[in-house]
Amino acid sequence: MRTIDDLDVSGKRVFVRADLNVPLDGDRITDDGRIRASLPTITTLRERGARVVVAAHLGRPKGAPDPAYSLRPVAARLGELLGTEVAFATDTAGDSAREVTAALADGEVALIENLRFEPGETSKDDAERGEFADRLARLADLYVGDGFGAVHRRHASVYDLPQRLPHAVGGLVLAEVEVLRTLTGDPRRPYAVVLGGSKVSDKLGVIDNLLGTADRLLIGGGMVFTFLKAKGYEVGKSLLEEDQLDTVREYLQRAEKQGVEIVLPVDVVAAEAFSADAPHAPVDADAIPADRMGLDIGPKSRELFASRLADTATVFWNGPMGVFEMEPYSHGTRALAQALIDSGAFTVVGGGDSAAAVRSLGFAESAFGHISTGGGASLEYLEGKRLPGIEALAD
């Protein structure tokens, strides 16, 4: 893949597909990590005299403008971080976008409105996506793909647009791919993977692939209760995917045959309700009361997980260990993050809620080897899937 170093960008309008899909509370950005991750590529292009046209999506609007998903607050924060005004286009490829991008001078930056306000962005119809990509292409002379969190989507701005303009990969995507190639190629061992989050069904493919790659799998979060149930334990009112029990049993059997250690919690924090104020207490994983639900791994499990990470050389982590947004159930995720730091291993935090947890719990990003900006994209890469946004950037 060509990099931005291979492009002559001076005086050119460069379309940068970034990942600015940040969490919002009204107009307030609650975690600007993805915006900050986009800064190096945008700054490099500015310093080389490019006229930078930034584009991204936010949330899941229904293919039509929705004020709740406007990128206007993102434009303001991006400008603050860059130390310069960022012009904002109130549409994606219409009159405002054409006027704003045409008015850019060398080194200036504009952000166009949420790409998903256009049905053509996410359409499964090639012609509809192509028509939108044609309109976007008129806004720029060159294309840089730097939105790793979207490269697993066959969307107009990710897949179709780079086929219409001279293109290159941005620094963020390049760094992400290099890290993931390390994990799937020849990682230093022992290599452990920690998986959490709510649903085991979201991670079936990656578990299947990792059984041939990782030395250990540590399972937490809501998905663990399907594993515990598959082992014959009662899980009370905990999250459970009954239709995945046979698949999980098969994974447990395969792991044993292939010498892959699967580490499950030995205790969980069980609460009477999904609430920070509900009565809660640690219970053994094989003795969850029928009227309680597990919302975090317990203190003995935190020690167990730390011990199974202490000698590792490489760790990939995707998914919190509990409902970390509620303080009583944040301790498992906090302990896991600290265990990764203490291990001295090359640690990769696989985006999404894991990255948000690292920041919200007060950990320094520099304490980890790499914090990904794309949870879904990272998992699909580890699953062995082809990523359309990466294929479109290859020459």
Question: Is 154 labelled a binding residue?
Answer: no
Instruction: State whether residue 367 is helix, strand or coil.
Output: helix
Question: Is 34 labelled a binding residue?
Answer: yes
Confirm whether 34 is a catalytic residue.
Answer: yes
- The contacts of residue 214 (CB under 8 Å, 6+ apart) are 191, 192, 193, 260
Question: Is 209 labelled a binding residue?
Answer: no
Question: Is 325 labelled a binding residue?
Answer: yes
Question: Is 13 labelled a binding residue?
Answer: no
Q: Please tell me which residue in 79, 107, 130, 376 is annotated as part of the active site.
A: 376
DSSP line for 284-343: ETT---TT-EEEEE-HHHHHHHHHHHTT-SEEEEES-SS-TTSGGG-HHHHHHHHHHHHH
319: left (phi over 0), alpha (psi -120 to 50) or beta: left
Q: Please tell me which residue in 352, 374, 375, 389 is annotated as part of the active site.
A: 352
Q: Please tell me which residue in 77, 199, 254, 300 is annotated as part of the active site.
A: 199
Question: Is 11 labelled a binding residue?
Answer: no
Beta bridge partners of 15: 53, 143
Question: Is 57 labelled a binding residue?
Answer: yes
Question: Is 20 labelled a binding residue?
Answer: yes
Q: Please tell me which residue in 12, 17, 34, 135 is annotated as part of the active site.
A: 34
Question: Is 352 labelled a binding residue?
Answer: yes
Amino acid code (one letter) for 71:
L
d(CA 117, CA 60): 9
Question: Is 203 labelled a binding residue?
Answer: yes
Question: Is 379 labelled a binding residue?
Answer: no
Tokens representing 320 are 């919190």
Distances (CA, A) of 344 to 121, 145, 240, 309, 314: 42, 32, 34, 9, 9
Amino acid code (one letter) for 56:
A
Question: Is 202 labelled a binding residue?
Answer: no
Question: Is 353 labelled a binding residue?
Answer: yes
Confirm whether 199 is a catalytic residue.
Answer: yes
Confirm whether 352 is a catalytic residue.
Answer: yes
Residue positions forming the annotated binding site for (2R)-3-phosphoglycerate = 34, 116, 153
Residue positions forming the annotated binding site for ATP = 203, 294, 325, 351-354
The residues that are catalytic are: 34, 199, 352, 376
Residue positions forming the annotated binding site for substrate = 19-21, 34, 57-60, 116, 153
Residue positions forming the annotated binding site = 19-21, 34, 57-60, 116, 153, 203, 294, 325, 351-354
